[in-house]
Structure 1
Amino acid sequence: MVNKPFTVDLNKPLVFQVGHLGEAYSEWAHQPIVSKEGPRLFANDLCELLTRTVWWVVPLVWLPVMCWFVTKSLQMGLSSSQAALAVVGGIFIWTLLEYCLHRFLFHMKTTSYWGNTVHYLLHGCHHKHPMDGLRLVFPPAAAAILSVPIWTLIRLSSTPSTAPAIFGGCLLGYVIYDVTHFYLHHGKPSKGLTKSLKTYHLSHHFRVQTLGFGITSSFWDRVFGTFPSTVAAGRTR
């Protein structure tokens, strides 16, 4: 007797269903449902609430934290110009982290039950429902967890006085990233850089999900050869 492939019931909470898809999970997650109405992920109301974040929470939470880290560097003897340079360096570091996290973590291949489940919570739900405005930016708790190894690496690889400012720059880069990401999905740019970035990002969602991993910039995609040719072709027409 041949077992029938598992089918996800979109009318029920999704998180503990998607793991049963096994090897079919990746294909399912990358077939987007274009609706501003997001799915229910958990049956538990508190867990469900924790998956939803309005975009303005990101700058509200993280900009004061960024300012605190930069202030720490100033208090430890860094000059204003040195701190500004460290912040710019942190923003640049973030652009590489943004690319690497998106390409290697958010788009990792999973087939196991828990692998699929974790990936769906991390990024798969965004690809399945790309217009869900309450699941476009990272909940502060999730961002805090991801920030711990980043802070640790910066602290170990730089001086005590510059590390906070560099990390503050990374946090500023992250805020720009998440706010930009929200705008690229729900904003309506008519021309210029924002329109190009929107075209570039939506190509990642609706044309080739294995290319175009940058959000705020296509720089690292060009460096590492993952810039989508479909976008380049569209610009030359």
Structure 2
Amino acid sequence: MVAHGFTVNLNKPLVFQVGHLGEDYQEWVHQPIVSKEGPRFFESDFWEFLTRTAWWAIPTIWLPVVCWFISLSYRMGHTPSELSLMVVFGIFVWTLLEYTLHRFLFHIKTSSYWGNTIHYLLHGCHHKHPMDSLRLVFPPAATAILLFPFWNLIKLFATPSTTPALVGGGLLGYVMYDVTHHYLHHGQPSGQMARNLKKYHLSHHFRIQTLGFGITSSLWDRVFGTFPPPSKVAVKKR
């Protein structure tokens, strides 16, 4: 695609190219290339490595951390039933955060060089190459960094003994989100509920990209009126 005299070369690292598209970036990034072969992001092998994450790394790394957080609240005197409620509430909060980030941050309109570049790294790359299996989940290093402000935010509203379990619940919600997201792109669900969820998400990629912002649940799309209208198009096997 040519914009402002600039041509995006898909055979070269993309991250520092996309900013040159300016106002045409939004149109370009929402024209998906359906291929399991992901593009190269950076010339540097080190930075390129950090952008690629296998889906199984997410539960492997973060589920032990979830258990550790919950155990902290347990050792501070909370009963299993109390811990269950806190974890469920943490997951519930995550679903709202998942929807909010996807709708208002990941789909923000950009046109400046650095705005386009950052958006492409955050989410644009996923819309351009939706079947790139190694860039479907969030890199663990980035998640670790974001855990600190999330912990401090929860501390503002919770007690010292409930904060770990609430954060653990939120982190568990994130793990469920990332694993579900990968499955919706690459899994072949047999159950009706999972098939509907896959159809709902793929509609966001290939039919109406301004609706359908939930991943693990369509709850908040229904609450806020962003649930996509029904389609008779069947889910394609990929």
Q: TM-score, normalised by structure 1?
A: 0.95
Q: Distance in 2 between matches of 1:103 and 1:88?
A: 23
Which has more helix, going by share of residues? 1
1:84 aligns with 84
Q: Which runs of 5+ in 2 are unaligned?
A: 234-238
1:221 aligns with 221
Judge which range, 199-208 or 76-85, deviates more. Answer: 76-85
Q: TM-score, normalised by structure 2?
A: 0.94
AA at the equivalent of 2:93? I
Q: How many residues align?
A: 231
Q: Distance in 2 between matches of 1:147 and 1:222?
A: 28
AA at the equivalent of 1:135? R
- What CA RMSD, in Å, does the superposition of the two structures yield over aligned residues? 1.3
Matched residue of 2:16: which SS? Answer: helix
Matches within 5 A, 1:1-237: 4-229=4-229, 232-234=230-232
Q: Distance in 1 between matches of 2:220 and 2:130?
A: 23
Shift of 1:193: 1.1
Shift of 1:190: 2.8
Deviation digits for residues 102-127 of structure 1, max 9, x if unmatched? 11111111111111111101110000
Deviation digits for residues 75-105 of structure 1, max 9, x if unmatched? 1111111111100000000100110011111
Shift of 1:145: 2.5
Task: Report if the CA contact (8 A) 2:4-2:21 is conserved.
Answer: no
Deviation digits for residues 191-213 of structure 1, max 9, x if unmatched? 31110010000000001111000
Residues 223 and 5 (structure 1), Cα distance of their counterparts in 2 relative to 1, 3 Å cut: farther
Runs of 4+ in 1 over 6 A off after TM superposition: none
Q: Distance in 1 between matches of 2:160 and 2:209?
A: 40
Q: Distance in 2 between matches of 1:206 and 1:143?
A: 28
Deviation digits for residues 135-167 of structure 1, max 9, x if unmatched? 000010112233332221111111111111011
AA at the equivalent of 2:232? G
Identity of aligned pairs, percent?
71
AA at the equivalent of 2:80? S
